[in-house]
Amino acid sequence: MTVTEENRRSRAHTDGILLAMVFAMSLFGVVAVCVATYTPDSTSDTTFLNHIVESSYAMRQCLFLLVAPLVVGVIMAFPFDILRRRAEWIYWGAFILLTITTVFNRAQGVKAWLDVLWGYTIQPSEFAKLAMILILAKNLAKQDRPLSDRRSFTRVFLMVIVPGLVILLQGETGSLLVIIFLFAVMMYFANVSMKTLGILFAIAAIGILSLYGFMMATGSDDYRLARIAGWLDPELYSSSDAYQQTMSKMTIGSGGISGNGMFQTGAISQLNYVPADWTDFIYATIGETWGLVGCVAILVWYFLILLRMLYLAWYTRDKFGRLIIIGVMGMLLFHVLENIAMTLGLMPITGIPLPFLSYGGSNMMTNMGGIGLVLNVTRNRSISISVNTPQTLHNPYRIHKQFRTRNY
C-alpha cells in the first residue's frame, strides 16, 4: 500500500458507514420488538405503524432510538483530549453509581437497576463498561509493553476487580463477563506479553472455579447455579430452569428456512411461550419470524459492523484511540456471541441483551455511547505519516503481529 493510500485511510473523519450500519440494525430492532410483543386485535387490516403504536415496548424502543443520535453526537463532539485526561473521573463516577445502586436497591435477587423518573430505570453496570474501556485504554497506552512491571500490573488488575466485585454483588454476572472479555481483548491488542496474559487467565479461572465450588459446597440455591444446571441437563430441567432456553430453541426451529412471517396469531412468540423474547431472547423471535435466512443475515450484519471497527482501529495511529475502538468492539462481540449462544442452548443463560436489537434503554445508550466513542476517535485522529506504518497487508500472520505491536 502506498503512503498516500495509507494517509487517506488514516485521515480524520466521521465514519458514516459505521453509523449507517448501526442505525439500520437499530431500526430493525424496533420491528423485532414490535413482532415479539404483538397482541391480536379485532382489526385484520391494521397497518404496520399501528402495530408499533399498540406495542408499549416498541414505542419505548422508538423513544430510545430517537435519543440515540443525541447520545452519539454529544460523545462524538466531546473533546478527545478531555476523554484522555479525565478517564479516571469517568471511571470513579461509574463506580460511585454502581455502589449507590448496590446499597439502595431493595429488590430481591439481581440489584442492577436504579429507579429514575416516570417508571424508567437505568442499569449502571452498562455504563461502567464504557468507563472501563476508557480507563483501560489510557493505562494500557502508557507503555509499549503494558503490565510488564508489578506496579502497573497491580494497578490495572485492581481497576478491573474492584468494580467487578460490586457488579457481582448486584447479581449481574453477565456484565462482569463482558468486562472481563473486553479487558482480555484490549490487553491482547495492547501488546501485553503472553506470559502476563496467561497469569491473568489463570487467576480468572481459579476465581471462577473457587466461587462455583464454594456455592456448591454450601448448598446455595443461587439462580446462577440453577441456570448452569439447566444448561448441562436441559431435559431434567425442561419445565423449570431450562424452560426458557428449551422454548427458545423450539421457537427458532419452528421458523424453518424462511420464517413464518410477521404478526402471526398463534405464533410461539405471540403466545409468550418464551419469557423475555423482546429483550434477552429477541433472537428467538427473529428465528421464528424470518427463519434461518433472517438469523444468518443478522450474524452477517454484526460481522460487518465488527469488521468495520477493526478496520478503523487498524488505521488509527494513536494507541489510546485504537484501544478505545478495540474495547468497544470487544464489548459488542461478547454480547453477540453470548446472547446468540444462549438462545441456541450453546451457553448458559446470563441475561446479556443483543446489541441494538433487544429492548432496553440502558443497553441501547451504552452501545450507542460506544459507537460515539469510536466516531470520536476517528474524528480526532492524526493524519501524520509514521515510518513505522506497515506498507503491505498481504500476510495474515504479519497483519496479526503488526496489529498487536504497532506504535506511533
Condensed to tens digits (0 to 9), the pLDDT of residues 249-260 reads: 889 988 899 888
DSSP assignment of 298-367: HHHHHHHHHHHHHHHHHT---HHHHHHHHHHHHHHHHHHHHHHHHHTTSS----PPPTTTSS-HHHHHHH
Q: Name the one residue in this structure whose C-alpha cell is 428467538.
A: 284
Residue 42: exposure state from Cβ atoms within 10 A (0-12, 13-18, ≥19): exposed
Give the mean model confidence (pLDDT) for residues 353-360: 92
What's the confidence (pLDDT) of residue 69? 94
Q: Could you give the percent of the chain with pLDDT greater than 90?
A: 36
CA distance linking residue 23 with residue 28, whole number of Å? 9
Q: Name the one residue in this structure whose C-alpha cell is 448458559.
A: 348
Give the mean model confidence (pLDDT) for residues 382-398: 40
Give the mean model confidence (pLDDT) for residues 176-195: 89
Res. 230: pLDDT tops 90:
no
Question: How would you label 211-225 residue by residue, b for 16+ Cβ within 10 Å and e otherwise?
Answer: eeeeeeeeeeebebb
Which of 67-76, 92-101, 296-305, 387-396 comes out lowest in average pLDDT? 387-396
At 390, is the pLDDT very low, low, confident or very high (cuts 50, 70, 90)? very low
Q: Which three cell numbers stand for residue 381?
A: 485522529
Residue 354 carries which DSSP code? P
Domain map (residue ranges) of the chain? 11-405
**φ, ψ (nearest 5 deg) of residue 121:** -130, 160
Top-confidence residue, 331 or 124: 331
Summary mean pLDDT of the chain: 83
What's the confidence (pLDDT) of residue 372? 95
Q: Which three cell numbers stand for residue 123?
A: 442499569
Phi-psi region for residue 351, left (φ > 0), alpha (ψ -120 to 50) or beta?
Answer: left
Top-confidence residue, 373 or 399: 373
CA distance linking residue 343 with residue 53, whole number of Å? 28
Q: Can you give the pTM of this predicted structure? A: 0.87
At 395, is the pLDDT very low, low, confident or very high (cuts 50, 70, 90)? very low
CA distance linking residue 181 with residue 197, whole number of Å? 12
What's the confidence (pLDDT) of residue 406? 58
